[in-house]
Structure formats: structure tokens, C-alpha cells
Amino acid sequence: MGYRSALRSDLFKGQNIIVTGGGSGIGRCTAHELASLGANVLLVGRNEEKLQAVHAEIAEDGGVSDWAACDIRDEASVKELVEKLVAKHGVIHGLLNNAGGQFPSPLASISKNGWDAVVSTNLTGGFLMAREVFNQSMSNHGGSIVNIVADMWGGMPGMGHSGAARAGMVNFTQTAAYEWGHAGVRVNAVAPGWIASSGMDTYPDSFKKVLRELPKAAPLGRLGNEAEISSAVCFLLGDAASYISGTTIRVDGAASQGNIAIYPLQPSKNSEPYGGFHREVIPELFSKEK
């Protein structure tokens, strides 16, 4: 059994697509879908072991990929990475800026180092990757960039550093779409809501209690899964979205559209997750009753 994408199987045939944060979570899932659609997926991340594992999974499923370790927060490293990828694989057709990370904390308790680390990963790193891919390839050949952001439309209490960085990435997406459109480069973003991804298991136990309550605050009555993010990413990267640029798609089950204190949610029914990813890993905190 392979990836069950809703898109045509040859959509990205012959295309080189970079996926940052490709060793786990949404990045891993999207890498699998892209490979199933014919792409040569270029996995980027800091953890070589995770990248190698996903590379092996893709090969086992009949897909093609390569991997390279890089800290996207380091400008010189990003320049060198893109240079090597272009030299080895040729034109870069797509980029998914997925790498990111944060930790729960109220603003008053975030140190400058903690703030800088989150902003560097979630905003600066994505900018550096996009800039270098544009300068070294897409400015001459066109292409598509998708940035992963977050549900931060009403602020992001408890993760203000991440909210600020993600809001910055939305604005960067809009600016880059305008400035780079002349080269045939489209730039869009996907804003996941509450997604049952492996990253949830990295949070402290106190915050996991909060995560288990999230389905109650979503109008569809459940969390999303990684495949529901990947499908939006692949659509935006593909040619069916050839006149979409500068936009952000919210994939959040309408959770960002209201306030349960003002309009309490009705009991949910009829919403089932999209089961596209054949190698999906359910977060441990949801895999069994706690």
C-alpha cells in the first residue's frame, strides 16, 4: 500500500522539490506525498538519522529522494546547501519551508535567547531558504514556494514568540509573491490548526493535558492530521494553482473563525479525517487513553 493522494500520480514528475524539516511530522508526510507524485524530494533538516530514515522509507515505497543536513538559521550554511543541491540535481522547482519549532511559555517568561531561537527557526530560516532558492534557481526558471505558518490570527497566547514569527512569515509570503512574480515564482502559505503530529509528543506533560482538550474547541470536533496539511501544500506547489500567489490557506477545521465563549459549539458529527498517509504515526498522547 502506498500514499493515497487525491492528486494525479505524475504531477511532479521530473521536479526537484526541497522539504525542510523533512525528517518528521508534516515534513515527513509531505515528502512521502510528493515522492508518490513523481518528485525527487530533497530532504533538509538538522537530524541526519531522521532524514536517512525518511529517505529509506521513500525508497522502500518506490520513490526518489536525497537528503542533506543543514541548520537553516545559519546564512552561510543555507547558501552552501542550495549551491550543492543545484549543482547535484539542477533546477529547483519547489520549496516547502516547513522546518520550525517552539515551546509553550507566557510572554513574561520568555528569555531573549528563547525568543531569538524561535524567531530564527520559524521566520529567518524560512527567509534564508526562500531567498537562496530564488537567487540560485527560481529567478531564472520560475517555481513555487509554500511556507508553513500557524493559527495565530487572534494572537497566540502561550506561544507569543511563535505567533510573532509566523505572522512575519505570512507577511513575507505576501511580499515575496509580489516581488518575485515577474520571474514566474509563486509564494503561498499554509496555516495548520491543531494537527495530530508527532511533534505533540515533545511538549511537557502539563501542556499535553491542554492538547487533549483541543478537539472540543474545533467546530469539526476533531484534530486534523498530517495528510490534510500535505494535500493543501501539494495543491499549491502544483500547476492547478498556477494563478494563486500571496495567499494563505487555513487548514484548521474552522477553529480560528469564532469564540466558544460567545458561540458555544454544538456536538460534532460526520467529520472524518482524510486517510492519505499510509505511514501515519499517531502521537502517543492520542494513541491511548491517559
8 in any annotated domain? no
- pLDDT at residue number 284: 85
Write down the residue that cell numbers 529567478 correspond to.
Answer: 139
- pLDDT at residue number 290: 44
- pLDDT at residue number 200: 83
176 in any annotated domain? yes
Alpha carbon distance 231, 240 (integer Å): 13
Alpha carbon distance 229, 46 (integer Å): 22
2 in any annotated domain? no
10 in any annotated domain? no
Write down the residue that cell numbers 493515497 correspond to.
Answer: 4
- pLDDT at residue number 203: 81
Range of the structural domain that residue 124 is part of: 16-287
Number of folded domains in the chain?
1
CATH number of the domain within which 139 lies: 3.40.50.720
- pLDDT at residue number 117: 97
Alpha carbon distance 97, 123 (integer Å): 10
149 in any annotated domain? yes
- pLDDT at residue number 288: 58
207 in any annotated domain? yes
**In tens digits, what is the pLDDT along the chain, a chain of 290 residues?**
799 999 999 999 999 999 999 999 999 999 999 999 999 999 999 999 999 999 999 999 999 999 999 999 999 999 999 999 999 999 999 999 999 999 999 999 999 999 999 999 999 999 999 999 999 999 999 999 999 999 999 999 999 999 999 999 999 999 999 999 999 999 999 999 999 987 788 888 888 888 888 898 899 999 999 999 999 999 999 999 999 999 999 999 999 999 888 999 999 999 999 999 999 998 888 875 44
**CB-CB contact of 17 with 42 (8 Å):** yes
What residues pair up with 251 in beta bridges, in sequence order? 192
**CB-CB contact of 181 with 241 (8 Å):** no
Q: In what order do the strands lie in the sheet with 94-97?
A: 64-69, 40-45, 16-20, 94-97, 143-148, 185-192, 248-251
140 in any annotated domain? yes
Question: Concatenated DSSP letters for 87-118?
Answer: HHH----EEEE-------B-GGG--HHHHHHH
Alpha carbon distance 201, 150 (integer Å): 18
3 in any annotated domain? no
